[in-house]
Amino acid sequence: MYNVAIVGATGAVGEEFLRVLEEYDFPIKKLVPLASARSVGKEVEFRGESLKVKELTCDVFKEEEIDIAFFSAGGSVSAKFAPCAVEAGAVVIDNTSHFRMDPDVPLVVPEVNPDDIALWNKKGIIANPNCSTIQMVISLAPLHREFNIKRVDVATYQAVSGAGKKGMEELFEQMRAIFNFKLDKKVEEREVFQYQIALNVIPHIDKFMDGGWSREELKMVNETNKIMHSKIKVAATCVRVPVLRSHSEAISIYCEKPVNVERAREVLANFQDVKVIDNPEKNEYPMPIIATDTDYVYVGRIRKDLYDDNVLHFFNVADQLRVGAATNAVRIGLKWIEMEGEAFLKGKYGK
Ligand code: A2P
């Protein structure tokens, strides 16, 4: 059993962590919810109990004898406090982008590259990939094994939950204003997105970098290849849409071998945590309202290119707060316990 901290416990992902840890029956001796000084005194619910939120400080990990720390409070918070947690003898599972491309930090999607967890001890940190990348690689992995993917073109339809609780509230407030015919006032009050998000789509997530690519788009390029140990060419267009908490992706794969739709459906359906919904004749395909609050990547609209036998197109959807964040991190934690837990406890507590 482990002492577990959630850093960012009052946030959108933090709240999901509490639910997922409970649902997965994570072996917790003590759970410590941490957030900024603003949240001290707030309470969160875990396994039917109210737990008081504590302030994140460098010392809290030692004071609370934390073994596993899930971080989801932004990159700068991880940069500053993850080393404190490691110093205090904890393994950090970090949901931010801060350590993802560090060669000494494994970047893990347990369905795809669980063995990379063995490298955790280089820095004491395991990184949880970007949400859009997680759901994409879960659907790419079985197809890559079958058809050998050389290139991926992807356009995302990303929910506002990716911008945290404030992003969800901004969409909600704007929608409410629309129904009250008061949109102008609320548009002026927007804080999170570059433009009004209600009844709009915004082809801009994270900062723009060289060549007109956004940072979010480059995360999908670099993280995909780190996770899959591949050199796949990836071109992403990341778009924010007025959906609350499930991301969708239209994906085209260019393969070395000719593709086959039936075989693609079969290998996807047999892959861990994937559900194929692909009956166009019955109007059945994946959508955010199907994926929300579940732990699966839904894949459908699978079809062969009209011109090229080696190209396959499909659509995938997954809950951003769960598959794209909390659930993936909890699955990393469980896999780490299975692979390393006994040796860790023996080394730390001598038992
Ligand atoms: P707080 O609620 O005290 O601000 P979201 O991604 O939904 O916006 O949530 C961000 C989470 O990260 C919240 O739990 C927030 O706590 C926490 N957080 C943000 N900045 C800090 C900080 N400097 N120190 C500790 N926790 C932080």
Percent of the chain having pLDDT more than 90?
Answer: 95
Which pTM value belongs to this model? Answer: 0.96
CA of 58 to the centre of ligand 1 (A): 15
Task: Please say if 247 is a catalytic residue.
Answer: yes
Whose alpha carbon is nearest atom 8 of ligand 1? 164
Does the interface ipTM go beyond 0.95?
A: yes
Which is it for strands 43-46 and 68-71: parallel, antiparallel or unpaired? unpaired
DSSP assignment letter at 284 = B
Is position 292 annotated in a ligand binding site? no
CATH class of 2-128+326-349: alpha beta
Is the model's pLDDT at 223 over the cut of 80? yes
Question: What are the residue boundaries of the structural domains of the chain, listed by start?
Answer: 2-128+326-349, 132-159+201-318
Per-residue confidence at 229, pLDDT binned at 50, 70, 90? Answer: very high
Instruction: For residues 349 and 351, give the distance between their C-alpha atoms in angstroms, rounded to a whole number.
Output: 6
**Token pair listed for 315:** 């659509």
The pLDDT confidence band at residue 178, using thresholds 50, 70 and 90, is confident
Within 13 Å, how many C-alpha atoms sit on residue 179's CB side? 5
Q: Note the Cα 260 to chain centre separation in Å.
A: 29
Catalytic residue among 84, 98, 238, 247: 247
The architecture that CATH gives domain 132-159+201-318 is 2-Layer Sandwich (3.30)
- Asked if 190 and 272 count as a contact pair (C-beta separation under 8 A), the reply is no
Q: Report how far ligand 1's centroid is from the alpha carbon of 10 (Å).
A: 7
Q: Quick one: pLDDT band at residue 344, thresholds 50, 70, 90?
A: very high
